[in-house]
Structure 1
Amino acid sequence: MTSKRKSGPVVAVVAMVNSIHVARWLAMVRDDDTRFIVIPVMDAPPVGELAPFRFVRGEDDIHTLQPGEVGIFDHSSISWAEAGAVEIGAGFQREEHPAFASSVQLFTAHHVTSAIRALDPDLVHSMEVQVAGYLTLEAKRRIGGTFPPWLLSNWGSDIQLFIKLPRHRTIIHRLFNHIDGYWAECGRDVALARSLGYNGAAFDPLPASGGMQIDAEEGALPPSRRQAILVKGYHGWSGRGLQILSAIYLAAPRLRTRPIQVLFTGSQGSRAISEIRTSTGLDIDAAPHLERHSDAMRRLADARIVIGAGISDGIGTTLLEAMSVGTFPIVGNTSCASEWVRNGRDAFIVDPHDTAAMAQALIRAAEDDELVDAAALRNREEVERRWDPALNREPVLRAYAAMIEANRASRSS
């Protein structure tokens, strides 16, 4: 690929268009001269926060994008039959991610390869590993030596958990041999990448979402004057919602005055909630899913405590959002939370399988007004300093420019 464009650089972002993380990242950088085109990896409608956007099919369409307008590559010119035949011919089968149900339609490596060829970008940025990263790895194999410089961001459990799974380990090793830049969420994952033999550029860790504009009015009420407890109730390949519900059962005598709302409940969680409510008399119920992120943030800002834990995580966006609105967080010790908060002071960091420890953490946070109010002030200051899109924007744009320039220099030498 040889770019013929004379205007600003083009970054192709291989990612999920329905992700708030992707929308926030692009909101942080999109007003620059650089044009951003999202190559979807999932057949899903774009998240509303991605607007303004327009569908594009090639370089000519890119030139018509308005300042700040994001392009989304239109895969519709490639039939699923064609894509399936190409994948069979190439002998490629992407390793599955347990988070995605069989009903979710993921695009193929042929879709991603065709998009990169049509766009001829100056840089490819894959946001997330097991879908976007694996598809980009295969696209690079097919395109060969003219493939643009490749930046990889990992989210949450992408490396820390999946490197332990034999069917993923080999792919992750190959991936780190082929990327040109790496953006981790936390220092833990940079060290892990180095241990896997990666010796390329590793930029200073940033949350997957880049940053979020914090509403000064949201979370203004001190947490000591709030009542609700929010629970991330998801229980599955990573989340351990049932363990949290067990902890709530143990702590029930000390939580009777607190309304408890449980998010993301499956059938098992719903049954457990009903049993806890019947046997303890707690005011506990499943909380409805809120489509608008602003509504979800208001609900979080009304809570005194939020608790969520799983077998692996990165920073955890819920942690950062809770810090931004003064809600006291209780999180798993399998995350990178310790890089942002101090256990026992700014948050409680617990073993996701130690229900007794989680119960004690809930009781302390529910009863200690001084603890939660002091933590709210410190946590808000921390996210204002480290999760501000206005502050994080420049390092990202510099990294993009450095990778593009290094590639141009190497090709001209």
Structure 2
Amino acid sequence: MKILLVSMNSIHFRRWSDQLRDSGFDLYWFDILDQGYAPSMSWMTQITGWKKGFLKKRGRSILKSKLPKLFNALVHKYDNKVEDAFANALQEIQPDLVHSFALYISASPILSVMLKNSIPWIYSSWGSDLFYYKNKPDYLKDIQAVLPRVNYMFADCKRDQQIANELGFNGTHLGVFPGGGGFDLELIENYKIPFENRKIIAVKGNHNRSGRALQVLKALEQLGQHIDHLEVIVFGATNPLILDFETDQIKNLTIKAILNHDQILELFGESLIYIGNSNSDGMPNTLLEAICAGAFPIQSNPGGATAELIENGTNGLLIEECEDVKHIQAIIHKAISNKTLLEGGVAHNTTHILPMLSRYKITQQVIKAYTSINC
């Protein structure tokens, strides 16, 4: 089977596509943003270098910063349009399947081409793809235009399957899987320390369109001396509101910017509790990695997505009001004051959730889903 993958170069896409490395499929990747050749994905054919129509070697960044109006005029006049480049790739490759990752990035831009072809089209919904953007009129228009043409769909939560159905998708659901596929449980095991030695609360530091890390920090601040025996480590912070957060109420607070994957796994493997807070995420990959590493999860539950995996009070705690500091404070206090809850939650996840997240198991299921398609 010849599959043309359409995506930006992201960690989720690299992990997902790696599942197909030894599948026997003939794989091609159309780099929708033309970010350049990716050595980490050298094992599949890459369609890159299609965009630039002027200053192909150097000088574009300087021109863009110095003369933005001229740059935009030249882009409009000389750069190749994504529809034309994709149509050429489609004609040359003649794939059996096209698979787009994230609707507004990789599906909407090629819709005009796909409407002229009957090639089966798969769409992978990620994070805020449907739940957040369906509330934005311009994006909703794109969603309702794309979904009726899409034949198959992967999602990272059942919530988004339902939303897709409501907004025009009438194809076949191929399954609910983490956006980047499964997790290497043997690798993660190397980073885990015993439960009784864990003293860290790990906080996902995203504070942006969807992330709400500041509310978590304010909740921890109000807990004061109740968390003096613990260390709070915020990771992945990029917003100055988080990077520059100062307080005397959190005794042991460390704020870190972007960490590499090994550093994140090491942090999770030493963490007692993981906290992630968002107004629209699907099933966060970071949450799943924290669970795999033995941390007790506290996670927001937009649209009921997280409740598909976490039973509140059994194997984690759910934040139902991501903006409500007092609500978040009460949830964290419940966790830190109940060792039995934490131990029981981690034990439940180890027995019942980790086997479902195995890289090997999910890879087999994903390959089976692709092969079920009649081309």
Q: What is the TM-score when the length of structure 2 is the normalising length?
A: 0.86
Give the one of 169, 181, 187 matched to 1:210.
181
Matches of residues 45-56 of structure 1 in structure 2 within 5 Å?
51=40, 53-54=41-42
Give the one of 323, 336, 339 matched to 2:305.
336
What displacement does 1:85 show?
A: 9.1
What displacement does 1:88 show?
A: 5.7
What displacement does 1:373 show?
A: 1.8
Matches of residues 236-275 of structure 1 in structure 2 within 5 Å?
236-265=208-237, 266-271=239-244, 273-274=245-246
Unaligned runs of 5+ in 2: 57-71
CA contact (8 A) 2:191 2:265 kept: no
Matches of residues 13-412 of structure 1 in structure 2 within 5 Å?
13-17=5-9, 19-44=10-35, 51=40, 53-54=41-42, 69-73=43-47, 75-81=48-54, 108-141=82-115, 144-145=116-117, 147-215=118-186, 217-218=189-190, 220-265=192-237, 266-271=239-244, 273-274=245-246, 276=247, 279-280=248-249, 282-291=251-260, 293-334=261-302, 336-350=305-319, 351-403=321-373, 405=374, 407=375
**SS of the residue aligned with 1:76?**
coil
**SS of the residue aligned with 2:46?**
strand
Q: Which amino acid is the alignment partner of residue 240 of structure 2? A: S
Alpha-carbon distance between aligned partners in 2 of 1:310 and 1:46, rounded to the nearest angstrom: 32
Alpha-carbon distance between aligned partners in 2 of 1:41 and 1:167, rounded to the nearest angstrom: 20
What displacement does 1:360 show?
A: 2.0
What displacement does 1:390 show?
A: 2.0
**SS of the residue aligned with 1:399?**
helix
Match of 2:68 in 1: none
RMSD: 2.6
CA contact (8 A) 2:204 2:275 kept: yes
Structure-2 change in CA distance of 1:235 and 1:220 (3 Å): closer
* Further displaced range: 391-400 or 310-319: 391-400
Q: Which amino acid is the alignment partner of residue 324 of structure 2? A: D
Match of 2:3 in 1: 11
Q: Which amino acid is the alignment partner of residue 224 of structure 2? A: A
Query: What number of residue pairs does the alignment pair up?
Result: 354
Alpha-carbon distance between aligned partners in 2 of 1:109 and 1:386, rounded to the nearest angstrom: 39
Q: Which amino acid is the alignment partner of residue 25 of structure 1? A: W
Identical-residue share of aligned pairs (%)? 24
Deviations 1:234-255 (A, max 9, x none): 2111111111111111112211
Unaligned runs of 5+ in 1: 1-8, 55-68, 90-106, 408-413
Q: Which amino acid is the alignment partner of residue 92 of structure 2? A: A
CA contact (8 A) 1:11 1:124 kept: yes
Alpha-carbon distance between aligned partners in 2 of 1:212 and 1:308, rounded to the nearest angstrom: 19
Deviations 1:207-242 (A, max 9, x none): 211211112633543334211111112211111111
CA contact (8 A) 1:325 1:376 kept: no
Q: Which amino acid is the alignment partner of residue 34 of structure 1? A: F
Q: What is the TM-score when the length of structure 1 is the normalising length?
A: 0.79
**SS of the residue aligned with 1:124?**
strand
**SS of the residue aligned with 1:280?**
coil
Q: Which amino acid is the alignment partner of residue 254 of structure 1? A: H
Alpha-carbon distance between aligned partners in 1 of 2:37 and 2:349, rounded to the nearest angstrom: 31
**SS of the residue aligned with 1:282?**
coil
What displacement does 1:400 show?
A: 2.0
**SS of the residue aligned with 1:203?**
strand
CA contact (8 A) 2:207 2:213 kept: yes
Alpha-carbon distance between aligned partners in 2 of 1:151 and 1:368, rounded to the nearest angstrom: 45
